[in-house]
């Protein structure tokens, strides 16, 4: 099997699964229980929180463990909106955010909030000047992702954070789900930052939201006061330990093999650019693990299924919007023509992929397109 859909989810590391199983088996007590067994679980929870904070260069009490990217994004966006609506009800995001961000803002619009959806250029990038121009007296939140999940576009988070700092009443949230372990962001300048476990070889249902000490949120889950009363509910201790292990391993991979991941993407770019039937949509200076391209005239599902027959797996659009109509809203926002927006495919790499795998994929893609063309009489 050649798996090239790592932006949808990743294969859990063996060490991560081992940690999860051990904690689930041995430390199954509720961390909130007052007995010795519960205290042992609580110590492990706080140890994990400390380790996550060290990896992220934040304070332990700024780490809130969640069930993943969708919850983290909703917690940040709705939590800020509901807590600070007395200061203003204007919010800013971009047109190319993940569905969990876009839909959260749309839900807030139904509650009377006013949202500005910033345009992007042809590469999917937000102009920081547009952020500055959009801020009003009643603005309370700006939410921009670090890396676009379809195109791999790296957003200018440092420049945007510098602008937001000029407005003391405005918070900055960054969806860092696709960027963690591949693209660094200035977390010290960000108020809220979302991470997901299953995107970094962890297990599904795990994640973290960094909430700086000066930020107050309206909780989406009320309950027993867990996670500094921001997220009620018994903590998923096996998942939390697994998440932190995955974060550490991902950071190690980034320090050792980031250049190799870039070389793999460059090789893909060069080869795909030479194919007459393929148009590349991703920016040249994109994230090292995502490459988006179109094969005009073919529905992406047809090519995906043809490659699947060869045990090669790629994707189209975001996994969270793959059941929507064929046209990619992200590519539409980049003002690409219809022939591209309805035929886009995405290859997303991990540090586990090899050059040999990509060579097999490229040959299989070329053969699949030729066979489909022959079938259609082209």
Please determine, for residue 245, whether its predicted confidence score (pLDDT) is greater than 50.
Answer: yes
Q: Do 284 and 202 fall into the same domain?
A: no
| DSSP structural state of residue 202 | S
Q: Render pLDDT for 211-230 as a digit per residue (tens, 0 to 9).
A: 999 999 999 999 989 999 99
The total domain count for the chain is: 2
Annotation says 320 is catalytic: yes
CA distances to 16, 19, 89, 245, 254 from 203, rounded to whole Å, are 8, 11, 36, 10, 19
C-alpha triplet 306, 309, 310: angle, nearest 5°? 100
Query: What is the CATH number for 124?
Result: 3.40.640.10
Q: What is the pLDDT of residue 322?
A: 47
Query: What is the CATH number for 270?
Result: 3.90.1150.10
Q: Do 200 and 298 fall into the same domain?
A: no
Q: Render pLDDT for 279-293 as a digit per residue (tens, 0 to 9).
A: 999 999 999 999 999
Say how far apart CA 112 and CA 263 lie, in whole Å.
47
Q: Do 360 and 278 fall into the same domain?
A: yes
Locate 173 and state its tokens.
């949230």
Q: Do 268 and 349 fall into the same domain?
A: yes
Q: Tell me how far apart the terminal alpha carbons of the chain are, to the nearest angstrom.
A: 30
Bridge partners, residue 326, by sequence: none
Q: Do 179 and 231 fall into the same domain?
A: yes
Q: Do 64 and 128 fall into the same domain?
A: yes
Q: Render pLDDT for 30-89 as a digit per residue (tens, 0 to 9).
A: 999 999 989 999 999 999 999 999 999 999 999 999 999 999 999 999 999 999 999 999
**Three-class DSSP category at 117:** strand
Say how far apart CA 253 and CA 104 lie, in whole Å.
33
Q: Render pLDDT for 230-240 as a digit per residue (tens, 0 to 9).
A: 999 999 999 99
State the average pLDDT for the chain: 95
Q: Do 88 and 226 fall into the same domain?
A: yes
Q: What is the pLDDT of residue 373?
A: 84
From 190, 215, 249, the end of a domain falls on 249
Length of the chain: 378
Residue numbers of the domain that contains 213: 14-249
- In the numeric block, the tokens 């929507």 are attached to 324
**pLDDT above 70 coverage of the chain, percent:** 97
Q: Do 231 and 321 fall into the same domain?
A: no
Q: Do 170 and 40 fall into the same domain?
A: yes
Q: Do 268 and 239 fall into the same domain?
A: no
Band the pLDDT of 372: cuts 50, 70, 90.
confident
Q: Render pLDDT for 302-348 as a digit per residue (tens, 0 to 9).
A: 999 999 999 999 998 755 554 555 689 999 999 999 999 999 999 99
DSSP-assigned states of every residue in 136-203? -TTEEEEE--SB-TTT-PBP-HHHHHHHHTT-TT-EEEEE-TTTTTTS---GGG-SEEEEESTTTTS-
Q: Which of 220, 280, 320, 372 is catalytic?
A: 320
Q: Render pLDDT for 188-212 as a digit per residue (tens, 0 to 9).
A: 999 999 999 999 999 999 999 999 9
From 197, 231, 249, the end of a domain falls on 249
274 φ, ψ (degrees, to nearest 5): -85, -10
Say how far apart CA 200 and CA 260 lie, in whole Å.
17
- In the numeric block, the tokens 């320090």 are attached to 255
Say how far apart CA 365 and CA 2 lie, in whole Å.
13
Q: Do 212 and 289 fall into the same domain?
A: no
Q: What is the pLDDT of residue 320?
A: 57
From 228, 249, 270, the end of a domain falls on 249
Q: Do 239 and 307 fall into the same domain?
A: no
Q: How much is the pTM?
A: 0.95
H/E run at residue 312: strand 312-313
Say how far apart CA 353 and CA 141 lie, in whole Å.
38
């Amino acid at each position: 099997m050649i798996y090239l859909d790592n932006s949808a989810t990743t294969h859990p590391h063996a060490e991560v699964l081992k940690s999860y199983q051990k904690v689930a088996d041995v430390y199954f007590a509720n961390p909130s229980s007052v007995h010795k067994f519960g205290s042992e679980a609580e110590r492990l929870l706080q140890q994990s929180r400390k380790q996550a904070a060290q990896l992220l260069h934040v304070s332990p009490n700024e780490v809130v463990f969640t069930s993943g990217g969708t919850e983290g994004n909703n917690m940040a966006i709705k939590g800020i909106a509901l807590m600070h609506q007395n200061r203003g009800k204007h919010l800013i995001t971009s047109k190319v955010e993940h569905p969990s961000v876009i839909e959260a803002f749309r839900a807030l619009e139904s509650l009377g909030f006013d949202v500005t959806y910033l345009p992007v250029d042809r590469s999917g990038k937000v102009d920081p000047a547009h952020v500055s121009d959009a801020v009003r007296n009643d603005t309370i939140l700006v939410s921009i992702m670090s890396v676009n999940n379809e195109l791999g576009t790296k957003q200018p988070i440092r420049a945007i954070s510098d602008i937001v700092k000029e407005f003391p009443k405005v918070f900055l949230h960054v969806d860092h789900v696709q960027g963690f372990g591949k693209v660094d962001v200035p977390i010290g300048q960000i108020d809220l930052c979302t991470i997901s476990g299953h995107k970094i070889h962890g297990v599904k249902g795990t994640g973290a939201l960094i909430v700086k000490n000066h930020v107050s949120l309206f909780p989406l889950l009320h309950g027993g006061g867990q996670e500094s009363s921001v997220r009620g509910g018994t903590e998923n201790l096996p998942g939390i330990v697994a998440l932190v292990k995955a974060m550490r391993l991902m950071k190690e991979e980034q320090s050792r093999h980031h250049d190799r991941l870039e070389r793999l993407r460059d090789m893909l770019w060069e080869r795909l650019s030479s194919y007459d039937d393929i148009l590349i949509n991703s920016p040249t200076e994109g994230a090292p693990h995502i490459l988006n391209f179109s094969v005009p005239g073919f529905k992406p599902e047809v090519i995906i299924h043809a490659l699947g027959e060869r045990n090669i797996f790629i994707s189209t659009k975001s996994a969270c919007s793959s059941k929507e109509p064929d046209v990619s809203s992200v590519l539409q926002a980049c003002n690409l023509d219809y022939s591209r927006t309805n035929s886009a495919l995405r290859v997303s790499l991990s540090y586990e992929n090899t050059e040999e795998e990509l060579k097999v994929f490229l040959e299989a893609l070329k053969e699949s397109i030729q066979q489909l063309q022959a079938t259609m009489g082209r």
